[in-house]
Amino acid sequence: MFPGIDSMPVRLAIACGFGWETLTMTNHPIHLHGHHFTVSCTDGGWVPETAQWPETTTDVSVGAVRAIDFKADCAWRLGVPLPTSHITR
């Protein structure tokens, strides 16, 4: 795990998701190693399930919001190497 970074422990085959808002003056990419996800919300609002798109990385620009959903299908901890002030669970 990254030093000083909290993990988000999940069980295998569990549906997971989290939201992200960039509060700094720098874009922040979200990349989940070993996972693919769908973008389910943008700063424009919730995306209907039929319009969600698959990604392995998404960039959250300054002041923007993203929420992603994924299935925990890898047997390791999910580390999000950014300050927790960016994460809304």
Q: What is the pLDDT of residues 33-80, one digit of tens each?
A: 777 899 999 989 999 999 999 998 888 999 899 999 988 776 655 554
Average pLDDT over residues 15-41: 85
Confidence of residue 12 (pLDDT cuts 50, 70, 90): confident
Q: What span, in angstroms and rounded, lies between the C-alpha atoms of 73 and 24?
A: 31
What's the whole-model pTM score?
0.71
The three-state secondary structure class of 70 is: strand
Residue 1: predicted pLDDT: 47
Residue partners of 23: CB distance under 8 A and separation at least 6: 85, 86
Q: Is residue 16's pLDDT more than 70?
A: yes
